[in-house]
Chain A
């Protein structure tokens, strides 16, 4: 079986401008959503208490909300979590409030209302921990980006490093844009997914860059555009199959992983889909515009050696 029987190189670079305009638009859109709506941070970042309560029968949200309001709580949210029988209650931080006392009081109220209510999970995060987590998350993103630029600069050339990181940070912003637009909960696992995707989609850029370097050696008369087109076309099959496989694993997580892994898998899905596009079709035009040349990648000494062999 063979999906991609492409005989001639697809002239990707001819449409480079179009790709870049698309990228820029989605990027700006994502930034716009982030600015306008902001991220719906989980309590891990904001601090607060989350209670997951399970019922023996489908739970009615409205009476639960009323019960809690009667108890004098405000500014909380109740929603279904994973199934109709499970609900999630989120409460913001209040100074001087004990998390154990809070969860006990809430559970007393809920069991008084419905005896089948049982507590599955409580999470409480204090304010300083949340701030630290957000700081560390940003720091991890920064270190990863710098690390990747440095590695690609060493292994290939700085132009590839810069292009790959621009392409992949653009993915990160787009994932964040999705989370802002739909107001999906942005939790620690989502952050982990984003960083994993960042490391992973750089792979595509690496594979393409590898090919470009090889082509510079092999296709001595070709223009830079031809070389890049050829590199993308030749690696396309692999790119799509690899991403398909990873997406299969993520899809299994999306279907079977339940509520706890839901947004983790969603972030990975967006990351993988945009990764295919951006790490190839955003990176390559940037590399070209940064003015990549044969001399950048092919060391003269090594060149001569290869000539002698051929």
Chain B
């Protein structure tokens, strides 16, 4: 009766092998590495960059112990920290000839030493939280009210332009706290205006009020448009943060949405909070200017390249290497841009970027383009006071309505990136830091050591007691508890859940609680023996009867664990994840693994006189 079918043993063996496999990477430790990622949204880290990195290292006689290339970065694993620093400088010099304007972020990082076949089956070391590896954590709150105000301002401007274009006479447009208020003198005009605005600006919800000669139309943003605006603001802010953090040279930044209006930024390894904050809070601006066509001849360009720039111009180099003289006078700034999306030209089917300008911007743009058909305009992005020409297209026709399309000589990827760059130039809404945590690297290492020691000594104490108290069955319990630890570590590595100090505490606690199931089983077996059952029957009854209780007691723990997981944040969540995972591994290891061992040891013996589960003869 105490025999499992073969498949159960195979299942347990398989689980243990997989557990070992996925826990393995944690034992290899970490090696110094250099990570190369793109510092600009328009640049991709591709095979060509990989070749350059390899070439640079080969020339200097540095042989990396590993080279990895994934979607966004190249990682070079090196033998020691000296070589790491040397390699970083070399790669930096080779990839970024102009140190003031780096194209790639070259950062120091740590890479697991585990062999590549482990990485190939996605067996990675556990992902350590900031409190274990040191770094900076920010929680930023996006000011959604400001985002909506900005949107409503833009809509008010658009409404003004629309009404003027269609020559609908109104008695004033005002931005009031309640929304956009447009006044009219007669009902007929109001009805006409209403129809126009409803057609052209579907985001506005219009309400009529007033009487006599003071008729009003009040526009507010529709709930669904509000939601869209907020989502867009959050997305754009996250994108902007991405771009800015790229410059910090952080190896593995985490930038994530949290809730409806918050962004989490985690920068492992960064210690200088002040600098990090300065960079996060910086604004980038978009500028549209005209190209100085009169001076765009070879002689003037050559002179400009030498530093002799004509008066009132600035010298830039386009991304394709073409030199360009741009007037200093600014036509439009990014404040007037409400959106930028990649798309296709409706006539030529070429990839294009569609920009939307607000009312005032649209008017200026129309006036400028009418006068400059056939000439070139430059779209520049300014960051840290330095500008870069994103694109410099030729104006083909007068462009009205605020919808601007940039097309020509662009691939789909470039169109995507340009749209992103235009959008990401500035924050859609102001952000405020509502939570900040900085953990020094020494503290992180200390925390790991302390957490590890707590777990090991706790485990040792429990194991010693179990073996002394329950003899052979205590051994079974200890083996089951070890597999529990193994499964838990494997799950954490496999899921790449963030392990924090409270998480390690949860591992220690899980072990302390998991032994409960084993104690329940062992006590039951003893009781059955005392009651006169044969050893085989006692084992059987002990496991069977304890099972229900084990499930019940773990479910109550699970309820608390899930509540923590749902309502908890930060340290509590780190605890809850491990706690909940631990409950599942506990049930499996206590019920299935320990019974497999007991069955394997005793199940095949026909005449089992006694089993070693401690002294039960007192009755």
By a beta-carbon cutoff of 8 Å, the part of chain A in contact with chain B is 1-2, 5, 7, 44, 52, 54, 99-101, 103-104, 118-126, 128-129, 133, 136-137, 139-141, 143-144, 147-148, 151-152, 155, 188-189, 191-192, 195-196, 198-200, 202-203, 206-207, 210, 234, 237-238, 241-242, 244-253, 255-258, 260-261, 264-265, 268
Q: Chain B residues with Cβ under 8 A from A129's Cβ?
A: 139, 434-435
A152 and B277 alpha carbons, distance in the complex (Å): 50
A49 and B468 alpha carbons, distance in the complex (Å): 49
Q: Chain A residues with Cβ under 8 A from B434's Cβ?
A: 125-126, 128-129
A118, A191, A203: the one within 8 Å of B572 (CB): A191
> Does B560 lie at the interface of the complex (its beta carbon under 8 Å from any beta carbon of A)?
yes
> Does B438 lie at the interface of the complex (its beta carbon under 8 Å from any beta carbon of A)?
yes
Beta-carbon contact of A119 and B576 below 8 Å: no
Return the 7 tightest CB-CB contacts between A and B, nearest first: A249-B512, A199-B560, A252-B458, A249-B458, A126-B434, A203-B553, A246-B512
Chain B interface size range: 35 or more
**A/B interface sample: 10 pairs, CB < 8 A:** A2-B526, A123-B437, A196-B564, A198-B560, A203-B556, A246-B515, A250-B509, A250-B512, A257-B505, A258-B447
Beta-carbon contact of B572 and A210 below 8 Å: no
Per-residue interface assignment for chain B, residues 422 to 436, with 1 indicating a CB less than 8 Å from any chain A CB and 0 otherwise: 000000000011111
- Evaluate whether A261 and B433 lie within 8 angstroms (CB atoms) in the complex, with A1-B614, A133-B569, A196-B561 already known: no
Chain B, range 506-526, C-beta contacts under 8 Å to A: 506, 508-509, 511-513, 515-516, 519-520, 523, 526
Distance in angstroms from B578 CB to nearest chain A CB is: 11
Given A2-B618, A99-B433, A242-B516, 10 further pairs, Cβ under 8 A: A118-B440, A123-B436, A126-B435, A133-B569, A188-B570, A199-B558, A242-B520, A245-B462, A261-B454, A261-B502
Distance in angstroms from B506 CB to nearest chain A CB is: 8
Beta-carbon contact of B501 and A261 below 8 Å: yes
Q: Chain B residues with Cβ under 8 A from A52's Cβ?
A: 443
Q: Chain A residues with Cβ under 8 A from B519's Cβ?
A: 238, 241-242, 245
Q: Chain B residues with Cβ under 8 A from A123's Cβ?
A: 436-438
The A contact surface, by secondary structure, is helix
A119, A124, A249, A260: the one within 8 Å of B509 (CB): A249
Question: Which chain B residue has the least Cβ–Cβ distance from A52?
Answer: B443
Among A120, A202, A237, A253, chain B packs the most CB atoms within 10 A around the CB of A253
Q: Chain B residues with Cβ under 8 A from A253's Cβ?
A: 454, 458, 505, 508-509
Beta-carbon contact of A103 and B572 below 8 Å: no
> Does B552 lie at the interface of the complex (its beta carbon under 8 Å from any beta carbon of A)?
yes
B440, B516, B557: the one within 8 Å of A119 (CB): B440
Beta-carbon contact of B559 and A120 below 8 Å: no
Question: Which chain B residue has the least Cβ–Cβ distance from A256?
Answer: B453
Q: Chain B residues with Cβ under 8 A from A210's Cβ?
A: 548-549, 552
- Evaluate whether A241 and B450 lie within 8 angstroms (CB atoms) in the complex, with A188-B571, A189-B571, A249-B509 already known: no
Q: Chain A residues with Cβ under 8 A from B557's Cβ?
A: 196, 199-200, 202-203
